C-alpha cells in the first residue's frame, strides 16, 4: 500500500499549529522568534505524520524520516518539508540537534507500540517532547543550565497528558499504547479496555494514577516562568503550564474514552490568562514590556 507514497508531503495529515491543545508561537512570542518556532513545528509535524501514517510499513517510515534528517542537515537531497527550518536555523545560528532528536522519537513510534513502565515512557518523552522546550529556550538565548530541567518536566507532562487524552484513539487507530504495562497490571486492566466506548473502573484507576504522576511533573516545572529572562516567553509558558494543570486535574474525575477532556475556546482563554496574570504578579514590574505583552495576549 505504501508504494504510491514517495514524499513526506504526501503523508501530511492537514493538522496545523492552530489545531494543537496548547499555544504554538502565540502573539505573546516576539515576532523575531515566531517564524523559527513555526518552521520547527511544521518540520516536526511532517515527521509525526510519517510515523502515524497507516499505509506505510515501519521500514518505509524510517527511510522517510532518515530522508528528512538528511535534508535538514544538508547531507541528502533537499525536501520542502525541511527547507524552511533549515533556513531558520541558519538565520538564528542554531544547530539541528533538537529537531533530529524528535525524529528519533518518530523512529521509536515506527518500531514500538508498547511501554513497560514509567521510566520507559519518560525515556520516550526525552526525545518526543523535551527537545521542543529546549529548542524554544535556546532560540531565545536562555541559559540551559538554569531552565532545561524545569522545561523538561513540563514537556514530559504535556506529552503524557496528550497520551492520556488520546489513549483510546491511539489504540484503535494505531494499535499504539503509551500507558505503561506495569500500571495496567497494577489495576487489573489490559490494553483491550482502551477500545471500549467507556473506561472500566480498572482503566480509570490507571488513568488517574498517571494523571497524578503528571501533576507531579507539572509541579516540578512550575518554577520555569520565573527562571526565564524573556518576559514574553515567560508568559507564554505560564499560560501553557496553567492550561496543562487544569486539563490534568480533569483526568482525575473524567473518562477520556467517553468524555471530552479538552479546553473550549472560552475556557482556553480564561485559563491561559489566569496563568499569565499570576506570573505577572510574581515577576518584578517591567513597565512598558508588561503592558505590551499583555496587550499582545488579548489579540
Q: How confident is the model at residue 16 (pLDDT cuts 50, 70, 90)?
A: low
How high is the pLDDT of residue 201?
97
Read off the pLDDT of each residue in 56-80 and give the average, rounded to a whole number. 96
| Among 137, 38, 14, residue whose Cα is nearest residue 87 | 38
Q: Which residue has the higher pLDDT, 292 or 70?
A: 70
Tell whether 90 and 125 lie within a shared domain: no
Tell whether 179 and 212 lie within a shared domain: yes
How high is the pLDDT of residue 276?
55
Decide if pLDDT at 278 tops 90: no
Read off the pLDDT of each residue in 29-47 and give the average, rounded to a whole number. 94
How high is the pLDDT of residue 27?
72
Q: 54, 82, 111: which is the final residue of a domain?
A: 111
Q: What's the total number of domains in the chain?
A: 2
Q: What are the distances in angstroms from CA 142 to CA 151, 166, 185, 248, 292?
A: 11, 32, 42, 28, 21
Q: Which residue has the higher pLDDT, 136 or 298?
A: 136
**Cell 527511510 found at:** 63
How high is the pLDDT of residue 88?
97
Check residue 257 and report its DSSP letter: T
Helix locations, the chain, DSSP H: 31-52, 58-73, 83-92, 97-111, 118-128, 130-139, 144-165, 167-174, 181-186, 201-221, 224-227, 231-250, 265-282, 288-297
Q: What CATH number is associated with residue 226?
A: 1.10.600.10
Decide if pLDDT at 83 tops 70: yes
Tell whether 161 and 260 lie within a shared domain: yes
Decide if pLDDT at 95 tops 50: yes
The rounded percent of the chain whose pLDDT value lies above 90 is 72
Tell whether 90 and 157 lie within a shared domain: no
Q: How confident is the model at residue 239 (pLDDT cuts 50, 70, 90)?
A: confident
Residue 183 to residue 156: CA distance in whole angstroms: 18
183-217 residue pLDDT tens = 999 999 999 999 999 999 999 999 999 999 999 99
Q: Which residue has the higher pLDDT, 3 or 40?
A: 40
How high is the pLDDT of residue 285?
47
Tell whether 180 and 230 lie within a shared domain: yes
How high is the pLDDT of residue 259?
87
Tell whether 202 and 90 lie within a shared domain: no
Tell whether 104 and 129 lie within a shared domain: no
Read off the pLDDT of each residue in 67-96 and give the average, rounded to a whole number. 96
137-184 residue pLDDT tens = 999 999 999 999 999 999 999 999 999 999 999 999 999 999 999 999
Residue 164 to residue 128: CA distance in whole angstroms: 15
Tell whether 249 and 150 lie within a shared domain: yes
How high is the pLDDT of residue 24?
67
Q: 68, 90, 111: which is the final residue of a domain?
A: 111
Range of the domain at 288: 113-299
Tell whether 95 and 122 lie within a shared domain: no
Tell whether 215 and 295 lie within a shared domain: yes
Q: 111, 137, 172: which is the final residue of a domain?
A: 111
Read off the pLDDT of each residue in 251-261 and give the average, rounded to a whole number. 90
Tell whether 153 and 65 lie within a shared domain: no
Read off the pLDDT of each residue in 237-247 and give the average, rounded to a whole number. 91
Tell whether 49 and 172 lie within a shared domain: no
Amino acid at each position: 500500500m505504501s508504494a504510491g507514497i514517495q514524499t513526506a508531503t504526501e503523508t501530511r495529515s492537514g493538522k496545523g499549529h492552530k489545531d494543537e491543545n496548547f499555544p504554538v508561537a502565540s502573539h505573546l512570542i516576539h515576532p523575531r522568534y515566531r517564524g523559527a518556532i513555526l518552521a520547527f513545528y511544521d518540520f516536526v509535524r511532517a515527521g509525526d505524520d510519517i510515523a502515524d501514517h497507516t499505509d506505510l510499513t515501519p521500514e518505509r517510515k524510517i527511510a522517510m524520516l532518515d530522508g528528512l534528517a538528511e535534508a535538514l542537515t544538508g547531507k541528502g537531497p533537499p525536501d520542502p518539508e525541511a527547507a524552511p527550518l533549515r533556513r531558520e536555523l541558519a538565520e538564528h545560528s542554531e544547530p539541528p540537534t533538537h529537531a533530529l532528536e524528535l525524529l528519533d522519537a518518530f523512529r521509536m513510534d515506527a518500531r514500538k507500540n508498547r511501554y513497560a513502565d514509567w521510566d520507559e515512557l519518560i525515556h520516550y518523552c526525552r526525545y518526543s517532547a523535551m527537545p521542543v522546550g529546549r529548542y524554544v529556550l535556546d532560540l531565545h538565548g536562555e541559559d540551559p543550565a538554569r531552565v532545561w530541567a524545569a522545561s523538561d518536566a513540563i514537556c514530559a507532562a504535556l506529552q503524557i497528558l496528550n497520551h492520556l487524552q488520546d489513549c483510546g484513539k491511539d489504540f484503535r487507530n494505531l494499535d499504539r499504547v503509551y500507558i505503561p504495562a506495569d500500571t495496567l497490571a497494577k489495576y487489573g486492566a489490559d490494553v483491550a479496555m482502551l477500545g471500549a466506548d467507556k473506561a472500566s473502573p480498572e482503566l480509570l484507576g490507571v488513568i488517574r494514577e498517571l494523571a497524578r504522576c503528571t501533576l507531579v511533573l507539572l509541579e516540578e516545572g512550575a518554577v520555569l516562568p520565573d527562571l526565564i529572562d524573556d518576559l514574553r516567553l515567560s508568559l507564554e509558558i505560564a499560560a501553557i503550564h496553567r492550561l496543562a494543570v487544569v486539563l490534568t486535574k480533569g483526568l482525575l474525575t473524567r473518562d477520556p474514552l467517553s468524555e471530552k477532556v479538552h479546553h473550549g475556546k472560552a475556557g482556553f482563554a480564561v485559563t491561559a490568562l489566569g496563568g499569565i496574570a499570576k506570573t505577572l504578579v510574581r515577576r518584578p514590574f517591567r513597565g512598558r514590556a508588561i503592558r505590551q505583552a499583555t496587550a499582545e495576549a488579548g489579540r
